[in-house]
Structure 1
Amino acid sequence: MQIELFIDGEKKIFTTPFVPMLAKRKYLELRAKDESETYSELLADDDAHVSILVDVVFKNQFTIEQVYEGASEEYVLAKLREAVYGSRKETNEEGNNPGE
């Protein structure tokens, strides 16, 4: 699996040889939480989801903040889906393109 992020205005590509099953486990733990959350809980929930990519999949090669600043929400969700379910949604786009 790979992810493309824009860090300091430069496109960087990070790769990992495999996605550990822990990624899906962490995702399912988050989904099992109560649906009635406050805004601060929603922010923490977003961080927890992104941390699956940052901590579990890519072993802290970049930070959560770098993901937020360097990729679109759609791209991050697609990468999370790829990590958790092992498949990519087919689109006409290639990678993470700013301004789209």
Structure 2
Amino acid sequence: MQIKLRIDGQEKTFTNDFVKARVFRNALKMNEKMREEGAQVSAETFDGMIGFVVNVFDNQFTVDDVWDGLEAGVLQDEIMRVFNSVLNIGGLQTTSTTTEGK
């Protein structure tokens, strides 16, 4: 798994090829919290998700590096990509919280 961040004006790529089982467990907890909040994710939960991403990559960068190193327009997609990748590694697939056809 990789993430690219702009740090000190340069794009840096961080890689983690070993995702700990504890990280998967933390993803399950975060997923539960996000489901409780629904479409209106709080700033506190979003901060937690960014902290989760930092943890996924074994603290190779900081929360501030993520806030400052990702473009605002891709921040949410990139955080969710990492989050969903961890859940998929553990054999789970996330599902949409919207219901179609109702």
Aligned residues: 84
Give the aligned partner of residue 17 of structure 2: 17
| TM-score, reference length from structure 1 | 0.67
TM-superposed CA distance for 1:36, in Å, is 5.3
Query: Is 2:91 the partner of 1:79?
Result: no
Give the aligned partner of residue 54 of structure 1: 54
Moved more, 74-83 or 60-69: 74-83
| TM-score, reference length from structure 2 | 0.66
Structure 1 runs of 4+ off > 2 angstroms? 30-37
Kindly provide the CA deviation profile for residues 33-62 of structure 1, in whole angstroms up to 9, marking residues without a partner as x. Answer: 38359x9x812211211222212x211111
Kindly provide the CA deviation profile for residues 16-75 of structure 1, in whole angstroms up to 9, marking residues without a partner as x. Answer: 2211122221122123338359x9x812211211222212x2111111121122122212
Higher helix residue share: 2
SS of the equivalent of 2:51 reads helix
Moved more, 21-30 or 1-10: 21-30
- 1: CA distance, partners of 2:58 / 2:80: 18
Give the aligned partner of residue 66 of structure 1: 65
Give the gaps of 5 or more residues in structure 1: 88-100
Give the aligned partner of residue 3 of structure 1: 3
